[in-house]
Amino acid sequence: MKKAEIRNLFLSQRQGLATEQIQELDHEILNHFRELNLSGVQYLHIFLPILAKKEVNTYAIAAWLKENHPQIEVVLSKSNFEEHTLSHFIWNEQTQLAENKWGITEPQNGTKIRAAELDMVLVPLLGFDERGHRVGYGKGFYDRFLAKCNPKIQKIGLSLFEPVAQIDDISDFDIPLDACITPNRIWYF
């Protein structure tokens, strides 16, 4: 399948989910996230969901991390839509969050951190394939961001749905995932 087909398919499937279904799927994703080996992770980058787009609700993952792994610094991004880049900030009690005009909740202040310092990134996506390639919204923010990260960083996708067999139009610019968590299992690549 091509990226545009996958994007349309999974956006449509997401919109068809009832609130109760999404809550169940989010709960199963959190259960699988708990299985990850977090030893050695000091900085974990997380995205906050665009709830109108029915993205995986990562607030529960962030709360679980703060309760069970307080030594891990959770990091959020702020988008620059002119340059299609992300800047990264540690998320703590002093961090002020605000929703931008695209519905993305972002930090407004905080301690900045370089992408190369991150140990794990939770990657938003619309769909992925059995080889670890992902389809996002098509702007390339995360591919640019991941290209600046340490090559040893763990790139973990979060998906409400299982993968397609193969994405046919992968480019050299696309950076594959190391794993993807779905409600049914963790896919390792």
pLDDT above 80: residue 4? yes
Q: Say what the pLDDT of residue 34 is.
A: 97
Q: Say what the pLDDT of residue 101 is.
A: 86
Domain that holds residue 33: 3-188
Q: How far, in Å, CA of 25 to CA of 18, rounded?
A: 11
Q: 117-143: per-residue pLDDT in tens?
A: 999 999 999 999 999 999 998 778 899
Q: Please, is 152 exposed, middle or buried when counting C-beta atoms within 10 Å of its C-beta (0-12, 13-18, 19+)?
A: exposed
Q: Say what the pLDDT of residue 83 is.
A: 87
Write the DSSP symbol of residue 85: E
Q: Say what the pLDDT of residue 7 is.
A: 94
Q: Say what the pLDDT of residue 102 is.
A: 84
Q: 79-106: per-residue pLDDT in tens?
A: 998 888 899 999 999 999 999 988 899 9
Q: 58-84: per-residue pLDDT in tens?
A: 999 999 999 999 999 999 999 998 888
Q: Are 154 and 180 contacting, i.e. CB atoms less than 8 angstroms apart?
A: no
Q: How far, in Å, CA of 124 to CA of 163, rounded?
A: 14
Q: Say what the pLDDT of residue 137 is.
A: 84
Q: Are 156 and 32 contacting, i.e. CB atoms less than 8 angstroms apart?
A: no
Q: How confident is the model at residue 52 (pLDDT cuts 50, 70, 90)?
A: confident
CATH of the domain at 157: 3.40.50.10420
Task: Summarize the confidence of residues 165-183 as an average pLDDT.
Answer: 95
How many domains are contained in the chain?
1
- Other beta carbons within 10 Å of 139: 11
pLDDT, the chain, mean: 95
Dihedral (CA of 80, 144, 37, 28) sign: positive
Q: Say what the pLDDT of residue 85 is.
A: 87
Q: Are 3 and 138 contacting, i.e. CB atoms less than 8 angstroms apart?
A: yes
- Other beta carbons within 10 Å of 148: 14
Question: What is the chain's alpha carbon radius of gyration, rounded to the nearest angstrom?
Answer: 16
Sorted by sequence, the CB contacts under 8 Å of residue 66 that are 6+ apart come out as 74
Q: How confident is the model at residue 165 (pLDDT cuts 50, 70, 90)?
A: very high
Sorted by sequence, the CB contacts under 8 Å of residue 28 that are 6+ apart come out as 183, 184
Q: Say what the pLDDT of residue 103 is.
A: 86
Q: Cα separations (Å) of 70 from 60, 99, 107, 127, 168?
A: 14, 26, 19, 31, 41
